[in-house]
Amino acid sequence: MSGYDIRQKIESSTANFWSESFGQIYPALKKLSNEGLVTMRELQPEGQRLRKEYRITPAGKVRLREWLAEPCGLQVRREELLLKLFFGDKAPKGAMRAAVEQRLAVAKRELESYGPIERELAAKMLTHPAAPYWQLTLEFGKAQAAATRAWCEQTLRELDKLEKAKTRDKGGRRDAR
Amino acid sequence: MSGYDIRQKIESSTANFWSESFGQIYPALKKLSNEGLVTMRELQPEGQRLRKEYRITPAGKVRLREWLAEPCGLQVRREELLLKLFFGDKAPKGAMRAAVEQRLAVAKRELESYGPIERELAAKMLTHPAAPYWQLTLEFGKAQAAATRAWCEQTLRELDKLEKAKTRDKGGRRDAR
DNA sequence: GGGTGCATGTAATGGGTTACATGATTCT
DNA sequence: AGAATCATGTAACCCATTACATGCACCC
């Protein structure tokens, strides 16, 4: 594939858990090429624009297998929403509610988007040997999004309770702007 | 607090969803100081080492409230495990199983660690006005970790099925190394 | 005397996005 | 004619971690 192709493939498949920009892809391909892990072929078929097609080499396949066997580095994923919520008592009145609602909307949209993807996948299940693995990544997304949705809904209820308690507390003294 | 204090506070409270290194903290404090959002006071009480204590200013509090009201930027979180799993059919035999097992162990440890934290929190619930918010962030962690655990367990079963199907398929032709 | 913890900071490096820069082809 | 898509790449910049560099205080 070309760098451009790769970008598109990424966007249409792994975008939910991995994404790369051109600024990463093109230099990476050059580097892989220098290391002999991929080969490049310039194509310009009959009045077409220039294309550089890359193809993995046997050495590249070996390296891929090695990488797949390496343990995953577990990074702390930063959750801006949680950081804000952590300081929730310092926030203006409806701010936390709005933030959680936004997140809930994202989770819902995500869950909806998985429907069509799942149907596409089901069709590929018999032809593509990797399809069962794609299914597993999809299941992860579904599980995570569902958990997020449930948490958001519960959290909205809790925020309402907190708000009420604050108002009740001293009949509206010192409101949060 | 001092930069050092801040680091410790972070590690003991938000480490599960947000973390900062000294390389970030010290320059940030300098910048905040230049912008008048915090003030610095040098302390050297009776035979102690030098300490620089920072304190938020009214302008800083305003800025904090502004930031809390800003919508969260939603970044694509990169999941190395899923990226590897996506190429699972190219992986050496037990590799994906090992990766998922590792993740499962992490999720379990995380869930266990939340127990004591929750008890501590319960104690602070009456004294700290922010404690209910801390509780919410904790609930998020619990929900996410529980979802991850369930997915890992299901995925391990699926991987076993895939492995069996592959072996059955042609009685061991072209095995994965 | 030596390890650990307190305390401050800078420099090197890596990873990544966005913007910039270019230009052909195809579709409307 | 103009917009969208194909296609490639570089440069500037931001964010973040790790390693480096320093040194005191306290405890064993």
B62 touches chain A (CB under 8 A): no
Report pTM: 0.91
Strand C contact nucleotides, protein CB < 7 Å: 5-12, 16-19, 23-26
Contact between A147 and B143 using a beta-carbon 8 Å cutoff: yes
Predicted pLDDT at B177? 47
The 8-class DSSP code of residue A76 comes to P
> How many CA atoms does the CB half-sphere of B10 hold within 13 Å?
18
For chain B, which ranges sit under pLDDT 50? 172, 176-177
The model's pLDDT over A162-172, given as tens digits with 9 standing for 90+, comes to 988 878 766 54
Nucleotide nearest to B4 (CA to C1'): C7
**How many Å does it take to go from CA A28 to C1' C15?**
12
For residue A156, the tally of other CB atoms under 10 A from its CB is 15
Contact A148, B144 (CB under 8 A): yes
A86·B146 Cβ contact <8 A = no
Does the pLDDT of residue A173 top 60, yes or no? no
Domain ranges for chain B: 3-69, 80-169
pLDDT digits (tens, 9 = 90+) for A66-110: 999 999 988 888 999 999 999 999 999 999 999 999 999 999 999
Tell me the nt nearest to A50, Cα to C1'. D7
Supply the CATH classification number for the domain B3-69. 1.10.10.10
| Residue of A90, A136, A162 with shortest CB distance to B155 | A136
Is A124 near chain B, with CB under 8 Å?
Answer: no
Tell me the two tokens of residue B104.
């499962």
Partner residue facing A137 (CB), from B78, B86, B133 = B86
Instruction: Tell me the average pLDDT of chain A.
Output: 91
pLDDT in tens, A18-76: 999 999 999 999 999 999 999 999 987 666 678 899 999 999 999 999 999 999 988 88
